[in-house]
């Protein structure tokens, strides 16, 4: 019995007149299916024709409409990924997500698979080799992310009938690395809050700890969204722009241009749109700050030298504060303050549904993943309650 061909790769059959007939699919045009049909007297000639057709047909159809010509046949890895980023990724995904895809493609995938190599020639072994190369200098999480991006790009190539199967799906998805977080303890958080009350920039860093807000949400906070509560419905991001100045983003992407490449954008999910009450000591410090601050044309609560603060710069500025308050042997990232905020909420026995709402998580599992494991104070308090119950 002959081997069954992969679906979508074409077929060979003998017609009523005895000719060997090749029927192979071509890329759709105007929503209609197209096929290449040719007849041969010899089976070997028919098989050779089908193999040649599979190599060359990627130069037509969707790729040709995107600017590729038969001279570029066969379509290379570099050709396809450039087309995929331009036509499939940036028009559909949020700009920062699309930029992450672009970085993975240019830093890891194209060098790992060889941009000049024909797309149809990539095999599972090539994918494994690429992943091994990435893993030499990068974390397991990066290897996993590269695998996911490559898989989606090759999925699109299969859908558009550029290749017949996805070699990435033949390789097991790498396991993610277990993150090593350096989250301040409850005692350290109390020390930080006390020390920050005496710093000129202390209010900004306290906002991270006592609201659980992300860096773009804090540096993008506007005066008219602050009172006894803060309205977290916008975040500050740095985005790549077109020549027109508009960010490279899907048509429905909501944004407000602020300054240079800085934009206020909506959170990526509805769960991210939230209102967080302010508590002591941040409430009093916020009122004093708003009363004494110099106005700025953007209406921002926090600025640096009178200008908006780039979120990437904010992370670098935090390192100096961390060294001053926690010492040089600690590696607490700015985002780890968000984990500390979640720990505080759990320590205060706040119900999990309210924790989700306060920090902007869409699932309980996400909130639990932010909670530090084996939080001894809370576990000890729980077992003390059990002891009291049994007494």
The C-alpha atoms of residue 223 and residue 218 are separated, in whole angstroms, by 11
Q: Report residue 303: phi and psi, to 5°.
A: -135, 170
Q: What is the pLDDT of residue 221?
A: 97
Residues 165, 158 contacting (CB under 8 angstroms)? yes
Q: What is the pLDDT of residue 372?
A: 76
Q: What is the pLDDT of residue 71?
A: 40
Among residues 338, 320, 336, the alpha carbon closest in space to that of 328 is found at 320
The C-alpha atoms of residue 58 and residue 76 are separated, in whole angstroms, by 10
Q: What is the pLDDT of residue 391?
A: 75
Would you call 320 exposed, middle or buried from its count of C-beta atoms within 10 A (0-12, 13-18, 19+)? exposed
Residues 265, 254 contacting (CB under 8 angstroms)? yes
The C-alpha atoms of residue 102 and residue 45 are separated, in whole angstroms, by 42
Instruction: Write out the CATH class of domain 70-170.
Output: mainly alpha
Question: pLDDT under 50 in the chain at which residues?
Answer: 1-4, 6-8, 31, 58-72
If one counts every other C-beta atom within 10 angstroms of the C-beta of residue 200, the result is 6
Report DSSP state, residue 75.
P
Residues 221, 230 contacting (CB under 8 angstroms)? yes
SS3 358: helix
Among residues 13, 17, 1, 7, the alpha carbon closest in space to that of 47 is found at 13
HSE-up of residue 243 (Cα within 13 Å, Cβ side): 0
If one counts every other C-beta atom within 10 angstroms of the C-beta of residue 149, the result is 22
Domain ranges of the chain: 11-65, 70-170, 186-382
Q: What is the pLDDT of residue 266?
A: 92
* Sign for the pseudo-dihedral over CA of 314, 320, 323, 328: positive
Among residues 24, 17, 78, 80, the alpha carbon closest in space to that of 49 is found at 24
Q: What is the pLDDT of residue 233?
A: 94
What six digits make up the tokens of 21?
């007939």
> To which CATH superfamily is domain 186-382 assigned?
Intergrase catalytic core (1.10.443.10)
Q: What is the pLDDT of residue 36?
A: 67
Measured between alpha carbons, how far is residue 313 from residues 90, 162, 308, 316, 346 in Å? 25, 42, 10, 5, 30
What six digits make up the tokens of 381?
């308090």
Q: What is the pLDDT of residue 348?
A: 87
Q: What is the pLDDT of residue 226?
A: 96
What six digits make up the tokens of 215?
């860096």
Q: What is the pLDDT of residue 59?
A: 42
Would you call 324 exposed, middle or buried from its count of C-beta atoms within 10 A (0-12, 13-18, 19+)? exposed
* Sign for the pseudo-dihedral over CA of 246, 248, 250, 255: negative
Domains 70-170 and 186-382 agree in fold? no
Helix (H) / strand (E) containing 38: strand 32-40
Q: Is the peptide bond before 274 cis (omega within 30 degrees of 0)?
A: no
Beta-sheet strand order (sheet of 32-40): 11-14, 20-29, 32-40
């Amino acid at each position: 019995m002959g081997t069954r061909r992969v679906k979508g790769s074409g077929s060979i059959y003998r017609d009523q007149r005895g000719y060997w007939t090749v029927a192979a699919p071509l890329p759709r045009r105007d929503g209609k299916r197209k096929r290449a049909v040719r007849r041969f007297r010899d089976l070997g000639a028919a098989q050779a024709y089908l193999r040649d057709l599979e190599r060359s047909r990627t130069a037509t159809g969707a790729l040709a409409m995107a600017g590729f010509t038969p001279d570029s046949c066969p379509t290379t890895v570099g050709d396809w990924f450039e087309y995929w980023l331009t036509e499939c990724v940036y028009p559909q995904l949020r700009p920062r997500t699309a930029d992450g895809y672009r970085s993975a493609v240019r830093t890891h995938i194209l060098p790992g698979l060889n941009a000049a190599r024909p797309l149809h020639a990539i095999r599972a072994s090539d994918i494994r080799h690429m992943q091994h190369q990435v893993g030499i200098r990068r974390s397991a999480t990066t290897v996993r992310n590269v695998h996911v991006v490559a898989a989606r790009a090759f999925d699109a190539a299969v859908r558009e009938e550029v290749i017949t199967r996805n070699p990435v799906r033949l390789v097991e998805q790498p396991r993610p690395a277990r993150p090593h977080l350096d989250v301040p303890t409850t005692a350290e958080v109390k020390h930080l809050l006390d020390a920050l009350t005496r710093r000129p920039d202390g209010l900004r860093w306290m906002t991270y700890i006592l609201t659980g807000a992300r860096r773009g949400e804090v540096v993008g906070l506007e005066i008219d969204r602050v009172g006894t509560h803060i309205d977290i419905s916008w975040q500050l991001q740095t985005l790549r722009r077109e020549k027109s100045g508009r960010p490279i983003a899907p048509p429905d992407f909501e944004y407000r241009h602020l300054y240079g490449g800085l934009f206020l954008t909506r959170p990526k999910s509805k769960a991210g749109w939230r209102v967080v009450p302010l508590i002591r000591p941040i409430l009093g410090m916020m009122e004093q700050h708003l009363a004494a601050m110099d106005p700025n044309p953007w209406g921002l609560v926090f600025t640096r030298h009178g200008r908006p603060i780039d979120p990437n710069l904010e992370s670098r500025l935090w390192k100096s504060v961390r060294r001053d308050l926690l010492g040089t042997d600690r590696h607490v990232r700015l985002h780890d303050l968000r984990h500390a905020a979640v720990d505080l909420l759990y320590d205060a026995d706040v119900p999990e549904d309210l924790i989700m709402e306060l920090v902007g998580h869409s699932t309980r599992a996400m909130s639990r993943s932010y909670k530090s494991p084996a939080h001894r104070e809370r576990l000890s308090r729980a077992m003390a309650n059990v002891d009291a119950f049994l007494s």
